[in-house]
A and B are shown apart, each in its own frame.
Chain A
Amino acid sequence: MKSEYDVIVVGGGPAGSLAARTAAQQGLEVLLIEKRQEIGDPVRCAEGVGKVGLAEYMDPDPNWICADIKKARIFSPDGTMIDISEKMAGNEVGYVLERKIFDRAVAKTAARAGAEVQVKTQATGLILEDGVVTGIRGKQRGNDFEARAKVVVGADGVESKVGRWAGINTTLKLKDVETCAQFLMTDIDIVPDSCDFYLGSKYAPGGYVWVFPKGKREANVGMGMLGSHYKGKHPIQYIRDFADWKFPEGKILETVVGAVPVSGMLPRLSTGGLVLVGDAGHVSDPITGGGIINGMASGRIAGHVIAECIKGGDVSAKALSKYDRLAREELGKSLDKNYKIKEVVTRVSDNTMNVVAHSLQGVEFENFTIPKLVKEIVTRNPGVIKELAGLI
Chain B
Amino acid sequence: MITVNRYRCGYCGACVGACPQNAIDLIETFIEIDSNCNNCSICTKVCPMGALELVKDEE
Chain A residues within 8 Å of B, Cβ to Cβ: 35-37, 42, 44, 122, 157-161, 164, 170-174, 177, 179-181, 227, 230, 234-237, 255-259, 261
Contacts and interface: CB of A to CB of B under 8 A. Distances in A.
Interface in B1-53: 10-14, 16-20, 22, 25-28, 42, 45-50
Interface residues of B, number: 22
A235 B22 contact: no
Nearest to B9: A257
A159 B16 contact: yes
Nearest to B49: A236
The 3 A-B residue pairs with the shortest CB-CB distance, nearest first, are: A259-B14, A257-B10, A234-B50
A258 B13 contact: yes
Given A171-B22, A174-B45, A180-B48, 4 more contacts: A159-B17, A177-B46, A234-B50, A236-B10
Contacts of B47: 179, 234
Contact of A171 (B14, B19, B49): B19
A170 B19 CA distance: 10
A227 B20 CA distance: 14
A222 B53 CA distance: 24
Contacts of A172: 17-18, 46
B46 A171 contact: no
B22 to A, nearest CB: 5
Interface of B: 10-14, 16-20, 22, 25-28, 42, 45-50
B3 to A, nearest CB: 16
Contacts of A230: 45-46
Given A174-B46, A177-B14, A161 B22 contact: yes
22 contacts: A35-B28, A36-B28, A37-B28, A42-B11, A44-B12, A158-B13, A159-B13, A159-B17, A160-B17, A171-B18, A173-B18, A177-B18, A179-B48, A227-B42, A227-B45, A234-B48, A234-B50, A236-B50, A255-B10, A257-B49, A259-B18, A259-B48
A259 B42 contact: no
A259 B46 contact: yes
Given A44-B12, A257-B12, A179 B17 contact: no
Contacts of B17: 157-160, 170-172, 177, 259, 261
